Amino acid sequence: MTSLIEAGEGAAAPRTDEPVVRAEHVWKLHQLGDEVVKALVDATLTVLPGEFACLMGPSGSGKSTLLNMIGGLDRPTKGTVFIDGTDTATLSESQFAALRHDTVGFIFQSYNLIPFLSAVENVELPLMFEPVNRGALRQRALDLLDLVGLSHRANHQPAKLSGGEQQRTAIARSLIGQPRLVLADEPTANLDQRTGAIVVRLLRDLCSSMSVTVVASTHDPLVAEEASRVLRMQDGRIVSNTNQSHQPEA
Amino acid sequence: MIAAGLSYGMLSTRRRARELILPIITTATGAFLLVQVLSLAGSVRRQAASLGNGTEIYRAIVLISVVVLLVGVVEVAVCTTRTVTQRTREIGVLGATGVRRAPVVAALLVEPLVAALVGALVGSAVAVAGGFVLSATGVSSTSPDVAGTVVGVALAVGVSVVASLLTSAMPTWRAASRPPIRSLSSGG
């Protein structure tokens, strides 16, 4: 049995300055009857270690599609995505699953917590199927819940948590495997403005302190304000790519 | 990893106990009918033989047993398909977080297996107890046959377990093999 601490130690530390994400000329086309819908058109982007990149755009602009391509939840019709230097086009589904498991954490708009598991069990979920030390796993999950301010809600099921608490639990879950990259799909979309602000700052601060790269899709200007890079999308295309220097608040 | 999947499956089965009630009842109904038919088959056949038409009655009993078995298998299949549909989003989350397919499938097979086993045992127990009570109190003039009862219970348990595994393995495997985004965007 592998100690969780031994297995995960340093996993999140950037190894090189090589981009964590590099997408080159990525297209996603959907066939709808006789019509071909261009969900993603020639998208090219690079995200460096430690960046908080934000894909900004209205509904249907292709930001979630691009995020899904980066995370391997869906495959591009054309083009290549490199994650941590690995050409994902060469990977089988199971190899991509292994890459996701070791490298990527996900945060979803609708949280996607498992309803019959408690908050701490939901945080443990990505590593529950691994031969890791159960005590160490529980302790790490509790530590992460503590980091997101939810240690007092560890044994509550999702139905008894507010939207903000569920999303904070999902953030803790995304970090349990000490990923290099966290992908957040509309992380504040189901939250009120105040809770959304808390969640996005928490995400930014945690990822900064844990050296995790974040790519978030959003239409929320608040998320864009906190990001170090903003990529604006429209009709499946990346129309602008802006670096924003940002110092986390003390 | 498979062991961890089974452990997760046991945990989810305990926590989702309420979801097991319908599959247990439907499986128990099938098992009850099968055990009833087979436990009474011997007596009915003997009585029919004394009237001179044993072969026809025996054929009718076999036909009824096969129909009851098929109905039981369909009931189990409906319940397992319902379970997989309910848990599609969960399969998507597990896939997105990179959990491999085999332990996910193992985890999701535990619930239909437990439902089938418990349902078959409950249905068989009720059939056996009911048959003997009706016979002992004189309500039924046909007494249950021990050999037929044993065959009925064995068939009910065996068919329920095999049917639940066969009917749930394929949809579960298929669901776990889909791109996670498709499972995540599904209901359930």
Low-confidence ranges of chain A (pLDDT < 50): 1-15, 248-250
Q: Do A106 and B89 touch (CB under 8 A)?
A: no
Q: Percent of chain B at pLDDT above 70?
A: 97
What confidence score (pLDDT) does residue A16 get? Answer: 56
Strand-strand pairing, A21-32 and A35-47 = antiparallel
Q: What is the mean pLDDT of the segment spanning B27-48?
A: 82
Mutation to test the B interface, candidates A108, A129, A156, most B Cβ within 10 Å: A129
Nearest to A224 by CA among A236, A233, A237: A233
Distance CA B71, CA B104 (A): 29
- Write out pLDDT tens, residues B103-123: 999 999 999 899 889 999 999
How close, in Å, is residue A235 to chain B by CA atoms? Answer: 21
CB A169 within 8 A of CB A158: yes
Instruction: Tell me the C-alpha distance between A243 and A228, whole Å.
Output: 6
| Mutation target among B14, B16, B89, B97 for the A interface, most CBs of A within 10 A | B97
pLDDT at B65: 76
Q: What residues does A26 pair with on adjacent strands?
A: A43
Interface touch B16/A116, C-beta < 8 Å: yes
Residues A5-59: tens digit of each pLDDT? 344 444 444 445 789 999 999 999 988 888 889 999 999 999 999 899 999 999 8
Burial of A32 (0-12, 13-18, 19+ CB in 10 A): exposed
Distance from the Cα of A215 to chain B's closest Cα (Å) equals 16
pLDDT, average across residues B160-172: 87
Whether chain B has a CB inside 8 Å of the CB on A131: the answer is yes
pLDDT attached to residue B20: 87
The domain locations on chain B are 2-176
Q: How many helices (H) and strands (E) does chain B have?
A: 7, 0
Query: So what's the pLDDT on residue B29?
Result: 87
Q: For residue B187, what pLDDT band results from cuts at 50, 70 and 90?
A: low
* Yes or no, beta carbons of B8 and A129 under 8 Å apart: yes
Tokens of A50: 């430690």
CB–CB of A129 and B99 under 8 A? yes
Helix axes A134-147, A163-175, angle to 10 degrees: 130
What is the pLDDT at residue A246?
Answer: 55
Give the domains, in start order, of chain A with CATH numbers: 49-76+91-243 (3.40.50.300)
Search chain B and give the residue with CA nearest A116. Answer: B15
Higher model confidence: residue B15 or residue B59? B15
For residue B74, pLDDT over 50 is answered with: yes
- Residue B2 is predicted with a pLDDT of 86
Given an 8 Å threshold on Cβ–Cβ distance, is A129 in contact with B95? no
State the complex-level ipTM: 0.82
Question: How confident is the model at residue A42, as a pLDDT?
Answer: 95
Distance CA A207, CA A246 (A): 14
User: What's the predicted TM-score (pTM) here?
Assistant: 0.85
Chain segment B143-156, per-residue pLDDT in tens: 778 888 898 899 88
**Among A residues 155-174, those touching chain B with beta carbons less than 8 Å apart:** 173
Instruction: Point out the residue among B93, B177, B180 whose CB comes nearest to the CB of A114.
Output: B93
On whether any CB of chain A is under 8 Å from the CB of B12, the answer is yes
Structure tokens, A75:
């495959």
| Any A CB within 8 A of B91 CB | no
CB proximity A31 to B under 8 Å: no
Between CA B101 and CA B173 the distance in angstroms is 8
Q: Residue A245: what pLDDT? A: 63
% chain B with pLDDT above 90: 23
What is the C-alpha separation between A120 and A169, in angstroms, rounded?
8
The residues in A 170-199 lying below 8 A from B, measured between CB atoms, are 173, 177
